[in-house]
Chain A
Amino acid sequence: MNFWFAVFRQTGRNLRQTWTSQFMTFLTVSLSVLIFAFFYLIYTNMLGAGDRLSDDLRLIVYLEDEPGPQMQEQLRRKIQNFDDVEDIHFISKEEAYQRFAMQLGENSDVLQDMPTNFLPASIEVVPLKSLRGYNQIKLFSEYLANLPGTEKVQYGQEWVERFYYFTRLLTIVVFLSGTLLILTATFMVAYTIRLTIMGRQDELELLKLVGATNSYIRMPFLIEGILQGFMGSIIGLSALYGLFQWITAHFTGPGLLSLFQFSFFPPGVIFLIIMSSICLCSIGSYTSIRKFLRI
């Protein structure tokens, strides 16, 4: 009969004998995976939304006067002095009026009595994709505001600011829940395996005496850890998927969430989470084996 059959039989015995603490560990691991994956999912979706938002990010520089061609050239140069930009687009008063009318559509007749130059001329600056982060954009807008002849700069400051701080907060939460996952997975697994080992000293002792190889004695505990990691992450992720389905079914539609295009993890990330969970739990069981299994 082969080694693996014997090892799995031994693992089954371990599990049967200590199933209550095994079950508690399994629940803790699942819950940690769920918590971590939950925040991580929100985080990745936020990042996705952030990408989409910053794709559309434009700084509008309102000007006091309509710039002549010479002035335009000068402004363009000054803007590019700060940083390369994706695009610079001058909008004359006339153009601004046209756009506004277009946006109003059917209601454009309210503009009938207005002069076509009542809107200020502006420059639309599309920053480079590499210009990320709230601080850089803020610096850039301050620079633009100090150009000669500018009135003010707009880019949805409040929105960008809040979004930026929320992502920062989420980064911290993801980090913390990741730490929680690492701690629970390694320590809980190490603890239950320690419990099993302690409860069965006499058997492990006897196994040695009747000629069990070290791997035959150790492997079941390692498999236990791997199983905990595997099952825990599968259940944790499945719970999250259920939650995700429920949320998308109840909260999508025209609203804030649709802006985010909430999406679940791609297979690669799922695989990675499962693998890390398995790794962490194996590390937990391995440390216990090293510490308490004197062979």
Chain B
Amino acid sequence: MIEMIKVSRTYDPNITALSDISLSIATGEMFFLIGRSGAGKTTLLKLICNMETPSNGLIEVAGYNINKLKGKDLAHLRQKIGVAYQDFKLLSNRTVAENIAIAMEVSYKNPRTIRHRVRDLLDQLQLVDKHDTLTGELSRGEQQRVALARSVANSPRLILVDEPTGNLDASTTRRVMELLTRSNKAGATIVIATHDDSIYQQGNHRIMELRDGNIHSLTRGSLK
């Protein structure tokens, strides 16, 4: 699903966020990205969804060189990639339901399908009573779940999640992981950037640790 070959990303005043990352993530895999703050996790996810362009190297997603894609093709590929951003990127003056619906509206889904899907997701994330609340009025943890709901709403083939459980308690964290696991079982490839060892230790998924923009280690979780 994702192929990265010698990818580097530097920011203007010689900050190297990522250097020479080569990585291959298979279709249907659940992949964890860990590392200290500032290690380059968010940068890596942004490169994969073409929010940033690499300074060097090649990135292929679903067989497309994502940096060569333009216009309609890029839009269609992005519809197949769900992203939960670390800063959420919610529209604070819109309701929870509207925020989640946006991801489905861009692929012209039927309004009824959208309504059902939104209700279903809110139910899974225990947010049903926030359906018509403006996202600006939500707590961080609630906003985080709305961002996650939006990323999986359109049933994308690839889901990129940045710090999904940072503001959540243990039981809500479990619900979030259940939702992601379900999407993964349904065939979606999932990349999760996190600090939270409680979520990546519980499986035999591959875990990549970044340190200062380099791959420090690539291990597997210890299956309990």
Contacts and interface: CB of A to CB of B under 8 A. Distances in A.
Interface of A: 1-3, 5-6, 9-10, 202-203, 206-214, 216
Nearest to B99: A206
A204 to B, nearest CB: 11
A216 B106 contact: yes
Contacts of B76: 211, 213
A2 B81 CA distance: 21
Interface string B104-128: 0111111101000000000000000
A212 B109 CA distance: 12
Nearest to B98: A13
Contacts of B78: 208-211
B111 A1 contact: yes
15 contacts: A6-B108, A9-B105, A202-B89, A206-B91, A207-B106, A209-B78, A209-B83, A209-B89, A210-B79, A210-B102, A210-B103, A211-B106, A211-B107, A213-B76, A214-B72
B106 A3 contact: no
Contacts of B74: 211
B75 A214 contact: yes
Given A203-B91, A206-B102, A211 B108 contact: no
A2 B108 contact: yes
Nearest to B114: A1
Nearest to B103: A210
A143 to B, nearest CB: 70
Interface in B124-176: 150, 154
B89 A206 contact: yes
Contacts of B110: 1
Contacts of B77: 211
Chain B interface bracket (under 10, 10 to 19, 20 to 34, 35 or more): 20 to 34
Contacts of A206: 89, 91, 102
Contacts of A3: 108
A212 B75 contact: yes
Among A3, A6, A9: residue with most chain B CB under 10 A: A6
A1 B108 contact: yes
B51 A209 contact: yes
Contacts of A212: 75, 106
B105 A211 contact: no
Nearest to A210: B103
B49 interface: yes
Contacts of A210: 78-79, 102-103, 106, 150, 154
Nearest to A10: B105
B63 interface: no
B91 A1 contact: no
B71 interface: yes
A202 B105 CA distance: 17
A183 to B, nearest CB: 33
Contacts of A1: 108-111, 113
A209 B111 contact: no
Nearest to A216: B106
A210 to B, nearest CB: 5
Interface string B55-85: 0000000000000000110111111110100
The 3 closest A-B pairs by CB, nearest first: A211-B78, A211-B79, A212-B106
Contacts of A10: 105
A5 B107 CA distance: 11
A202 B71 contact: no
A3 B107 CA distance: 8
A214 B80 CA distance: 16
Nearest to B75: A213
A55 to B, nearest CB: 61
Given A1-B110, A6-B108, A211 B75 contact: yes
Interface in B9-58: 49, 51
Nearest to B49: A209
Given A9-B105, A211-B79, 19 more contacts: A2-B108, A5-B108, A203-B91, A206-B89, A206-B91, A207-B102, A208-B75, A209-B49, A209-B51, A210-B79, A210-B102, A210-B106, A210-B154, A211-B75, A211-B77, A211-B78, A211-B81, A212-B75, A213-B76
A3 B76 CA distance: 14
B4 to A, nearest CB: 20
B67 to A, nearest CB: 15
Contacts of B107: 211
Nearest to B105: A6
Contacts of B80: 211
Contacts of A203: 91
